[in-house]
Structure 1
Amino acid sequence: MAGEPGESIHLIFCQSFIEWAAHHRAALFYFLPAQSPFLYFAKKSMAFFIQHLQQNGFDVIELTDDEGASVQVIPALGALLHAFTIPHKNGTLNVIDSYASRAEYDAGVVSSFKSVKLSPFACRIKDAAYEWNGVKRQVQKSPIHGLLYDQAFAVILEETGSQDAVVDLEYHYSGWDPGYPFPYTCNVRYRLLAQNTLEITTSILNHHSESIPLMDGWHPYFSTGTPVDELELEFRSKEIVEFDDKLIPTGKLLPYTSFNQAKSLRGVELDNSFIVDFDQPSPLCILRDPKKHVSIEFYPSTAYPILQIYIPPHRNSIAVENLTGAPNAFNNGLGLVKLAAGESVQFATTLRVRG
């Protein structure tokens, strides 16, 4: 009968056990028989945590789970994705090639743009100039990778539960660059899930009185510690964006399926934009390290139809970028988002690391 004292004690015990199990999973798996019903609760329950750290001159927010996966972000430096670490063999493996120190960031961010938010445009704008609503604009700050890559994002939400750890970062752009005088809000959500999975969602809200041009993207560099020449890449594409000698799109899309099957990157040079084929099964891109038996899977939403791949000259890491449009989208219109006054839009991608 509901409400009996014995039943209340039983329910309290079960709930307490579930909460305790989330923090003592390893001990349970060691001491309890494989068929124990208590292991069901331990397997279903996970604990997620958020902590603030100071490392090498950076103020870091770290999302972790109780299986050893973690994500580090740096809000004050362009909402930078600093690390994505998984349990690997007898230790851990960080698959993000970031900056070793604040001094390295200060010296290199405007040349590498590693792992920063690209907004309100990504890649190149030819001659830093474009025309919008009949008015010619000249971007003052940078003709490449937007305006927010070094801006301080505010932390507006930190939340943990049995399913995830979430941090929301936000920047209110007031229109301070004369070449982009359109106020908007950029919100970035990092969400760590079970099974070494990271979901990244960007939301843009237009505060301008008219529609604004927009191109969104990311610039993460990935490394397993193995040289790129020993890695394999596979992605679903049907076309490649043709570039001129200055890496500006010519306007042509050419058939391209070379990486629809896994292919070695030995000797391969890439700095290209590919059209994602969303009709193919996910994951839509996989970076593999056969030596360490690690793979990084990419699950972009249809809001990110462009996959930009870049291998830097040092060939120790590789940039795999989900973009809403092609380079110079403000001029060629390829993937350009036209966001109406007062409207918002979301772009999402998910990473999963296996190893």
Structure 2
Amino acid sequence: MPFQITTQPFGPLPTGTEPLTEYILEHTESGEFITVIPAFGGILRRLVLRKGHHLFALLLAPESPQALLTDESYASALLYPFPSRIRHGIYHFEGEDYALKLNEISRDNAIHGFVNDREFSVVSHEVTPTEAKLVIQYNYTGDTVGYPFPFALTVTYRLIQADLLPNGSDSKNDRMCALQVSYSALNTGTTNCPAAFGWHPYFTLSEESVDAMSLLLPDRTPITLDENMIANGRKPDELAGTINLRDKKLDNAFAIEPTSDPANPDTFAETVLTSLDTGIRLVVGQETGENKLNYLVCYTPTRRDSIAIEPLTANVDAFNNGEGLTVLKPGESLSGTIWVRLE
């Protein structure tokens, strides 16, 4: 069986705790692999996929335990129970006012939830002829200021045969793999709770500058943002189109329009990052539909070595404006799927 799962020590945190364990999901014949650190936010730290005879490193993420602790870019972070920003960290829900800890002080916002450094446990891991799968979970008891709603967040990482993805090409003869990330957030409390999910990867093509890339966006509605990056309106709809990223600065939010595959009744949208030098295309797909990933943020950091392509279930400040917000009753779940492949 070509797939395997192994572990390696990632190194101790400066806090003196046990060394972190990194899980490696690998296709031994193609050399493709992903690595995950469950005990620190469940982050996907490395993603290496193959196109033709070449392997491409596709993520920029912290390279050491110290970098994990000091990272302020949320590289590869899982974003829950809210992605993006909440104005002043304050929201109103079902007759009560709540105040979250501010973690974007310069703009007076709460940002990106609070699970990015929490300890996930490994629920299971498995290999089959078509995939390597790792299931992790974080159980939250409701003890964080401003969010007293217990939940269980389960995330499944798969290194999977690429042709099994929605709109995936037939790659059986090429042995190509892809990444699939699935999430399920279960309300384990006794009251309703507000919920939204996102993922914050920084993509690159073996550290190529984004100035040598283009970005194909799906059909979308651009969201306007105020000086503190809080949503305050929408622009007219835009059809799918390509942006040349040379000297282009992005920190943009979109409501996206899904496409469909006649062979697959589920709807989805895909964003494509292309190397203008090699023609290699990195495809980021997200499941769309009711309570799914109907929003997208794209951000180019000033260092110009990557681009954040962030699938989200809700708009910026959704806890206040309600756009894309899911209200989970006790025992209900918010779930969806994201994928990444090369073509």
Give the TM bin, normalised by the shorter chain.
0.7 to 0.9
- Residue matched to 1:54: 9
C-alpha RMSD of the superposition: 1.7
Whether contact under 8 Å (1:56, 1:100) holds in the other structure is: no
Q: Does 1:291 align with 2:277?
A: yes
Q: Does 1:184 align with 2:151?
A: yes
Q: Note the C-alpha offset of 1:51.
A: 0.5
Q: Does 1:207 align with 2:174?
A: no
Per-residue CA distance 1:127-185 (angstroms, 9 max, x = gap): 01101111110113641110100001000110001011100000001111130000010
Distance 1:160 1:351 in 2: 19
Whether contact under 8 Å (2:51, 2:342) holds in the other structure is: no
Q: Secondary structure of the equivalent of 1:334?
A: coil
Q: Does 1:253 align with 2:208?
A: no
Higher strand content, 1 or 2:
2
Higher helix content, 1 or 2:
1
Q: Does 1:101 align with 2:68?
A: no
Q: Does 1:241 align with 2:202?
A: no
How do 1:71-150 and structure 2 match up within 5 A?
71-87=34-50, 92-108=55-71, 111-140=72-101, 142=103, 143-150=110-117
Q: Secondary structure of the equivalent of 1:105?
A: helix
Whether contact under 8 Å (2:201, 2:308) holds in the other structure is: yes
- Residue matched to 1:350: 339
Q: 1:160 aligns with which of 127, 144, 161?
A: 127
Unaligned runs of 5+ in 1: 1-21, 23-46
Distance 1:166 1:187 in 2: 13
Whether contact under 8 Å (1:283, 1:297) holds in the other structure is: no
Q: Note the C-alpha offset of 1:294.
A: 2.0
Whether contact under 8 Å (1:276, 1:284) holds in the other structure is: no
How many positions carry a matched residue from both structures? 305
Per-residue CA distance 1:311-353 (angstroms, 9 max, x = gap): 1111111000000001110001111011111112212111112
Distance 1:213 1:56 in 2: 36
Q: Note the C-alpha offset of 1:122.
A: 0.8
Q: Note the C-alpha offset of 1:290.
A: 2.4
**Bigger shift: residues 308-317 or 235-244:** 235-244
Unaligned runs of 5+ in 2: 13-19, 104-109, 162-175, 262-267
- Residue matched to 1:270: 250
For 2:297, the aligned partner's letter is Q
Mark the CA change 1:283 to 1:128 in structure 2 (over 3 Å): closer, same or farther: closer
For 1:199, the aligned partner's letter is Q
- Residue matched to 2:106: none
**Bigger shift: residues 209-218 or 277-286:** 277-286
Distance 1:352 1:117 in 2: 19
Q: Note the C-alpha offset of 1:49.
A: 0.4
Q: What is the percent sequence identity of the aligned residues?
A: 29
Q: Note the C-alpha offset of 1:112.
A: 0.4
For 2:62, the aligned partner's letter is Y
For 2:30, the aligned partner's letter is E
Find runs of 4+ consecutive structure 1 residues off by over 3 angstroms. Answer: 55-58, 87-91, 279-283
Q: Note the C-alpha offset of 1:261.
A: 2.6
**Bigger shift: residues 71-80 or 278-287:** 278-287
Q: Secondary structure of the equivalent of 1:77?
A: coil
Q: Note the C-alpha offset of 1:239.
A: 0.7
- Report the TM-score when normalising by structure 2: 0.85
